[in-house]
């Protein structure tokens, strides 16, 4: 019998091809991604140590965790693909580094063109006061409009908000605890009027309080009983200076030689 191409003689349909599997994760890319996440974690830890109190509220920590998670999600693209083209990646890094430098310089030069070095140092230092002259410190205004400085109380870094309306220099309970004070053993017998009513604080004398090269010894402080977003640098410190003055977005602190 001849094959007439009938139903029994039709070729069998080809089996559907399996969907191609995803490319395996390259070990090199995995190590690069892990290194990147370790660097991000180290950067967050380093900033927290350099600027104590800058991230204090639950909302601040939530924002930080969300930012780290976003970086992890976006950088996970490194886990897919072939070998890493290091030359191309280096060009991308150089390009973005150039963009960041241009933005920083553009922001730093937004005012007068005089004092270029001082202005750049001030913008990059943040709450770290920088020396702008003989026995003179300059602090750059924060985004919210206040002035913040990183000081040293008994050698421990404390972030202060400068408050000329406060007669005392006040430590937040969190900062006092970091200094090793037992808050339960303090006597909160100092009443003070605050925006939320009458508050109470405890007297504490620090061996030293320093802001940059300005150093005072046997400095009387107040430990606030209620929680605070930031410790306050009040007139008990500012009044011992030769002068303090605000010019534009700069706070100038001058001390006696």
Domain definitions of the chain by residue range: 27-108, 116-254
Cα pseudo-dihedral 116, 119, 123, 129, rounded to 10 = 140
pLDDT tens string 163-184: 998 999 999 999 999 999 999 9
- Residue 173's pLDDT is 94
pLDDT grade, residue 109 (50/70/90)? Answer: low
- Nearest one of 229, 76, 216, 211 to 157, comparing CA atoms: 211
Instruction: Kindly tell me the sign of the dihedral angle through the C-alpha atoms of 214, 115, 122, 245.
Output: positive
- Residue 237's pLDDT is 96
- Residue 183's pLDDT is 94
Q: Is the pLDDT of residue 25 over 80?
A: no
Identify the bridge partners of residue 5 per DSSP, sorted by sequence position. Answer: none
Q: Of 113-122, 214-223, 247-256, where does mean pLDDT reach its minimum?
A: 113-122
Which has the higher per-residue pLDDT, 241 or 28?
241
Which has the higher per-residue pLDDT, 22 or 148?
148
pLDDT grade, residue 72 (50/70/90)? Answer: confident
Q: Is the pLDDT of residue 155 over 60?
A: yes
Contact (Cβ atoms closer than 8 angstroms) between residue 84 and residue 91: no
SS3 content of the chain, % helix, strand, coil (to 5): 35, 25, 35
Which has the higher per-residue pLDDT, 111 or 199?
199
Supply φ then ψ for residue 148, to 5 degrees: -125, 140
pLDDT grade, residue 66 (50/70/90)? Answer: confident
Q: Is the pLDDT of residue 232 over 50?
A: yes
Q: Is the pLDDT of residue 3 over 70?
A: no
**Model confidence, pTM:** 0.55
CATH number of 116-254: 2.40.70.10
pLDDT grade, residue 16 (50/70/90)? Answer: low
The span from the CA of 32 to the CA of 250, in Å, is: 42
Strand ranges of the sheet holding 136-140, from the earlier edge strand across to the other edge: 130-133, 136-140, 250-254, 243-247
- Nearest one of 20, 239, 253, 27 to 130, comparing CA atoms: 253
- Nearest one of 105, 225, 240, 211 to 171, comparing CA atoms: 225
Query: How many other CB atoms are found less than 10 A from the CB of residue 169?
Result: 25
Instruction: Kindly tell me the sign of the dihedral angle through the C-alpha atoms of 200, 217, 158, 109.
Output: positive
Q: Is the pLDDT of residue 136 over 70?
A: yes
Determine the average pLDDT of the residues in 58-85.
Answer: 72
pLDDT grade, residue 108 (50/70/90)? Answer: low
Which has the higher per-residue pLDDT, 78 or 61?
61
């Amino acid at each position: 019998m001849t094959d007439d191409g009938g139903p029994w003689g039709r070729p069998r349909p080809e089996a559907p091809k399996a969907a191609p599997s995803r490319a395996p994760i390259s070990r090199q890319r995995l190590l690069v991604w892990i290194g990147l996440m370790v660097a991000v974690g180290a950067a967050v830890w380093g900033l927290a140590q350099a600027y104590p109190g800058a991230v204090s509220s639950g909302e601040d920590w939530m924002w930080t965790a969300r930012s780290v998670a976003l970086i992890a999600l976006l950088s996970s693209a490194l886990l897919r693909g072939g070998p890493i083209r290091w030359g191309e990646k280096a060009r991308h890094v150089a390009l973005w580094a150039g963009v960041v430098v241009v933005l920083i310089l553009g922001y730093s030069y937004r005012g007068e063109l005089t004092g270029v070095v001082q202005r750049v140092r001030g913008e990059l230092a943040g709450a770290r006061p920088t020396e702008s002259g003989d026995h003179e410190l300059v602090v750059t205004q924060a985004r919210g409009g206040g002035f913040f400085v990183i000081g040293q109380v008994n050698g421990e870094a404390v972030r202060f908000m400068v408050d000329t309306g406060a007669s005392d220099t006040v430590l937040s309970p969190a900062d006092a605890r970091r200094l090793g004070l037992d808050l339960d053993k303090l006597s909160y017998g100092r009443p003070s009027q605050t925006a939320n009513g009458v508050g109470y604080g405890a007297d504490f004398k620090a061996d030293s309080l320093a802001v940059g090269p300005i150093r005072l010894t046997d400095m009387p402080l107040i430990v606030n009983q209620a929680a605070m977003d930031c410790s306050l640098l009040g007139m008990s410190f500012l009044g011992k200076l030769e002068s303090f003055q605000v010019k534009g977005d700069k706070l100038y602190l001058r001390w006696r030689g």
